[in-house]
Amino acid sequence: MRRPKKKYPKGFGAVMILLTVLLCGFLAYLVAEPYLPDLALPTFAPKESAPSSESASSSQKEETPSSSAKEEPPAVSSSQVEERNPQPASADGSLDNFVDWVIWYGLEEPQYPVSEKGTTVYGELFGDPDAQWCAEFLMYCLNKAEQHLGTSYIDEVFPWYPSGYSCGLWFKAYYHWFDAGTYLPEKGDFILFDTWGIGYPDHVGLVIGTEEKADGKTVILTLEGNILTDPEPQIRTREIDPADETIVGFGSIRQQNLGYSGPRKYYSLADKPEEPPSEPENGGIIDGDAAVSDIPQEGEETLPLPEHSSSAPQA
């Protein structure tokens, strides 16, 4: 029996012929690989986008001391340094001139003077490079000025101690001490602070002047090193309100305070020696821890320097 012949829809043959032609043309294209010349396309330089306000402000911020690495400051010429911190015009060796040189040497020191090992040249001056160095920094500057000018103000006008605590007692011994709130300091005076409220000085700085602001208030200008509240030890200047509660008092290099009646061998009950003060000679009446009969009068030689206990607090 014959099978019936298959019937395809009309147009099927035409479609098959068209597909065959297209397939053959595509194969011929792949074999021939027609040549396409290289076209030089125009190039455009990428447009620099303006930094956002957030990124711009962050880039302008100084690196905080807590950063792992500080950028080296840009190199400056000697003329720029001179303009920023002009050298004193003279070297006449007067007290005012000496103070100018002390301040100049202090401002010439690097802002971050602590080495990678945690030492400073200021501590080395007293044989302890690892020491806290606020007082040592001032002694270093005093010594530099003394060597430059050939003067002898150290031990005569300024103390020579690696401790703000002892520097204050030195001024007390010679009646050049003023409690906070009783005196507006002058250029060259020492200013002592009780930063943490412990009852006696734990930090010392140098007064470099005072300034009256637009609102009529006066501020104290200081040069200090190793400020206890700074996140990283550094040397910098500050503006301080004379009413600042952390100020303990001032050591004056020009003014004598014969009316001072407070203790001269300590600051408060917090650091008062346990042993009672010795009885004054000649029936003197104890005033503070000094006998009234011991207070020097005008023209008399000042008192000898008191002996400090080795256990005295260090600042």
- With respect to residue 234, please indicate whether it lies within any of the assigned structural domains: yes
- With respect to residue 152, please indicate whether it lies within any of the assigned structural domains: yes
Closest to 262 (Cα-Cα) out of 193, 202, 182, 198: 182
- With respect to residue 213, please indicate whether it lies within any of the assigned structural domains: yes
pLDDT tens per residue, range 230-283: 999 999 999 999 999 999 999 999 999 999 999 999 999 999 998 765 665 554
Q: What is the pLDDT along the chain (315 residues), one digit of tens a residue?
A: 555 555 556 667 777 788 887 887 777 776 665 544 444 444 444 444 444 444 444 444 444 444 444 454 444 443 444 456 899 999 999 999 999 999 999 999 999 999 999 999 999 999 999 999 999 999 999 999 999 999 999 999 999 999 999 999 999 999 999 999 999 999 999 999 999 999 999 999 999 999 999 999 999 999 999 999 999 999 999 999 999 999 999 999 999 999 999 999 999 999 999 876 566 555 444 444 443 344 454 554 444 444 444 344 555
| Count of domains forming the chain | 1
- With respect to residue 274, please indicate whether it lies within any of the assigned structural domains: yes
Supply the pLDDT for residue 23: 80
- With respect to residue 65, please indicate whether it lies within any of the assigned structural domains: no
Supply the pLDDT for residue 64: 41
2 burial (CB, 10 Å; 0-12 / 13-18 / 19+) is exposed
Supply the pLDDT for residue 277: 58
> Using an 8 Å Cβ cutoff, are 217 and 191 in contact?
no
- With respect to residue 210, please indicate whether it lies within any of the assigned structural domains: yes
- Domain containing residue 225: 84-294
- With respect to residue 310, please indicate whether it lies within any of the assigned structural domains: no
pLDDT tens per residue, range 139-151: 999 999 999 999 9
Supply the pLDDT for residue 69: 46
**What does pTM read for this prediction?**
0.65
- With respect to residue 312, please indicate whether it lies within any of the assigned structural domains: no
